[in-house]
A and B are shown apart, each in its own frame.
Chain A
Amino acid sequence: MVAKSVLELVGNTPLVELQRLSPPGVRLYAKLEGQNPTGSIKDRIALAMVEAAEASGELEPGRELLEPTSGNTGISLAMVARVKNYSLTCVMPENATEERKRLLKLMGANIVLSPASEGTNGSVHAALDLVERESRYFMPFQYANDANPRAHYDGTGAEIVEALDRVDVFVAGLGTGGTLMGAGARVREAFPDAVVAAAEPLPGDPVIGLRSLDDGYVPPILDVAKLDRKLLVTNADSVAGVRALLDEEAIFAGISSGAVVHVAQELGSELDEGVVVCVLADGGWKYLSASFWAAEDVEAAMETSIWW
């Protein structure tokens, strides 16, 4: 098969059995989203959000894309924007890593920086302000765009239920909630007793310190009532999970994948037998320059940033 453009290579990612990490009696499978064209699960939603906006007429030639993102979503939108000839501006905190800024610029995105002290919420507010002031911008806004969970219902989730004849536990990382809502719903439709479980990062104090409760944020697409489990994972456990994937399965995944595997193993070990599926959102490449790999105290080295 020859694809007409990289956009046709989005999705249909491989599922692989993690034989050495599977608890006794349990089959543990991982969906390798790092094998999407730009290396993360966000390719799915970037393409889906842009195509939904084109179909509805909200996005026409000449309009420009704008999104608050410091990472994977921006890189995925940059790919879609390039192929479809749109301009893209990403709003991110000024302390986002140089590596990410450089990759976004290489892919043709414009970058607007928001104050580091306001974190990602500051980027969201800055982007909302820009969209209000300048009508040329169209903001997909992954936190509130139904095309995000729908991409996972139609893609990620559909691919899982097609490939497996049984799912007892489905685990994904909690960010916008798109994967858990969309793929979770699809898995539950096919396997009504399946447990849908979220792995979420336990942020360090310096990160929480930037947020006030009044500024709290629950993504509109996330309905916590639709989750069966919602588990915090420490940075140390996430890194241990990444290392276990490398050491036991030769899979190089990102930080959230370490957390997801940690939770998948925990919930798997509560079963006598069954099938656990987890979603590994990206590869480890974009985290290579991070300092924690060699740090003696992983928690201390990681506590000043959000890692997914």
Chain B
Amino acid sequence: MITIRIPPTLRTETEGEATVEASGETVRDLLDDLTGRFPALRERIYPGGELARFVNVYVEGEDVRTREGLETPVADSSTVILLPAMAGGC
């Protein structure tokens, strides 16, 4: 199982859990598994099977958008982090 970190803003959709377990070989597998168990989450982060614009997914600290997107492979030891897109730059 792979542990996914859930940002505070999405924890109402995961029954308050800050981390959830999911299984799969790619980010797409993980999101399918995760949003299958927490359907309310699907609409927020993964509508129509595509990553929502304001959601970033990181595998081993790297944004999957600069890797292979939803096809980015994950291993059992992978760290996966979901984050909302935020304005930076002070």
B77 interface hit (Cβ, 8 Å): no
Report the bound CA distance from A207 to B83 in whole Å: 11
**Chain A interface size, under 10 / 10 to 19 / 20 to 34 / 35 or more:** 35 or more
Report the bound CA distance from A208 to B65 in whole Å: 20
Q: Given the known inter-chain contacts A216-B86, A219-B89, please indicate yes or no for A208 contacting B9, CB distance below 8 A.
A: yes
Q: How many chain B residues touch the partner (CB < 8 A)?
A: 26
In whole Å, how far is B42's beta carbon from the nearest beta carbon of chain A?
Answer: 13
Report the bound CA distance from A217 to B10 in whole Å: 16
Q: Please tell me if the beta carbons of A218 and B85 are within 8 angstroms of each other in the complex.
A: yes
Q: Please tell me if the beta carbons of B9 and A201 are within 8 angstroms of each other in the complex.
A: no
Report the bound CA distance from A306 to B83 in whole Å: 14
Q: Please tell me if the beta carbons of B88 and A208 are within 8 angstroms of each other in the complex.
A: no
A228 interface hit (Cβ, 8 Å): yes
A178 to B, closest residue via Cβ: B89
Report the bound CA distance from A228 to B67 in whole Å: 8
**Interface 1/0s, chain B 71-86, versus A by CB < 8 A?**
0000000000101111
Q: Please tell me if the beta carbons of B55 and A227 are within 8 angstroms of each other in the complex.
A: no
Q: Which residues in B have some Cβ–Cβ distance to A below 8 Å?
A: 7-10, 18, 44-45, 52-55, 58, 61-63, 65-66, 81, 83-90
Please give 10 more A-B residue pairs, beta carbons under 8 A apart, in addition to A121-B87, A218-B54.
A120-B87, A208-B7, A208-B86, A209-B9, A212-B84, A216-B55, A224-B63, A225-B65, A230-B66, A232-B58
